Amino acid sequence: MIRVGIVGATGYGGAELIRLLAGHPHVQIANLYSSSVEGEALEKIFPHVFGLGLPKLAPIDAQSMSEENDVVFLATPAGVSAGLSPQLMELGGTKVIDLSGDFRLESGEAYRSWYKREPAPSEWVQKAVYGLTEWNQEQVAGASLIANPGCYPTATLLALIPVMKSGLVKPGSWIVDAKSGVSGSGRGLSMGVHFSEINENIHAYKVAKHQHTPEIEQELAKQSGVESLVQFTPHLVPMTRGILVTAYGQLEPGVSQEQVQELFESTYADKPFVRIRPAGTHPHTKEVLGSNYCDIAVHVDERTGRIILLSVIDNMVKGAAGQAIQNMNVMFQLPEQAGLPLVPVYP
């Protein structure tokens, strides 16, 4: 059994890791860590785990963490992993899967500019592997430190990479209009998560300023070989889970629906967590709820010459904890689907 430790167990990312890892056949939840409430039982904070016999919350201590776990998941706010992960790496003994954004951007400059804080040590940023499993499987298999992708970038990149890589869409034409449930904002309190403010409401936020923009641009360029600015706009939807990305690109002349449909189907034919829906359909976020799937539908509008991509994930699963576990499975030579639910929760 692989011994796993979870840092940030009192947040939503931590809770989702526990949900999925508790049912994982090859894993033992060895340690739960929290900087704020050490010594406490997690069920005091999360009554849904009442009676499950989980480990008590332990303080964050790199030395013991490196000794007592085979892999540590960091489900922490930006900035924490930047300090902790290099310590763990240098101690050796445990692998690290970081769900925060601290090791995703190769350029420290970009991190500083979009995150408004100091980047992690460049040495370790360069060693970290970007864990978009479907596209980096080999590097993930050999990695010690995974930068697990952001929720928006996951849904966006799985949709955009195939057509960019094939040269079918004009660089710079991408508009990515994304809609997310509220759990993506985490468990912290703010007016932006107050039920009475968010229920029966939709709004955009951080227009032209969201920190997932450079992550999308960086990985799109790496996978496709072409630099392309991306216009990214996130919206907050009155639901708890789910992300829908509606992405618009200007097609090169003459590209047909059949051609791109076939491209997507063949690209992801052997990827169990990416499901290419039939032409003409509209995937719903609810159709992947609780699961690690990314479902994608492709629409070519001949009238305007554009491709419209619809991509849905559960932001807590494929957009966070699920993909992290998928990466762990690859890192430990386990079946890629181990511990990940086969069927979404519906309705």
Buried b (16+ CB within 10 A) or exposed e, 263-299: bbeebbeebebbbbbeeeeebebbbbbbbbbbbbbbb
Find the part of the chain contacting its own copies (CB under 8 A) among 1-9, 97-105, 137-145, 184-192: 184-192
User: In the stretch 260-289, what mask flags binding to its own copies with x, by CB under 8 A?
Assistant: ---------------x-x---xxxxxxxxx
Q: Assess 35 for contact with its own copies (CB under 8 A).
A: no
CB closer to its own copies, 137 vs 246: 246
Q: Assess 345 for contact with its own copies (CB under 8 A).
A: yes
Binding residue for its own copies (CB under 8 A) from 96, 110, 158, 237? 237
Find the part of the chain contacting its own copies (CB under 8 A) among 2-10, 134-142, 160-168, 227-235: 227-235
Q: Token digits for 289?
A: 């709820």
Cβ 322 to its own copies, closest distance in Å?
Answer: 12
Is residue 260 within 8 A of residue 280, CB to CB? The reply is no
Binding residue for its own copies (CB under 8 A) from 239, 259, 332, 338? 239
One DSSP character per residue, 136-187 reads HHHHHHT-SEEEPPPHHHHHHHHHHHHHHHTT-B-TT--EEEEEE-GGGG-S
Q: Assess 181 for contact with its own copies (CB under 8 A).
A: yes
CB-side neighbour CA atoms (13 Å) of 303 = 2
Please indicate whether residue 151 is annotated as part of the active site. Answer: yes
d(CA 186, CA 97): 18
Instruction: Please tell me what DSSP assigns to residue 118.
Output: P
Q: Assess 199 for contact with its own copies (CB under 8 A).
A: yes
Find the part of the chain contacting its own copies (CB under 8 A) among 57-65, 133-141, 153-161, 178-186: 178-186
347: preceding bond cis by omega (within 30 degrees) = yes
Q: Assess 248 for contact with its own copies (CB under 8 A).
A: yes
Cβ 260 to its own copies, closest distance in Å?
Answer: 14
Find the part of the chain contacting its own copies (CB under 8 A) among 31-39, 114-122, 296-304, 324-332: 296-304
> Cα 146 from chain centroid?
12
Cβ 196 to its own copies, closest distance in Å?
Answer: 4
Q: Which residue of the set 151, 260, 296, 317 is catalytic?
A: 151
d(CA 312, CA 282): 10
Catalytic residues: 151
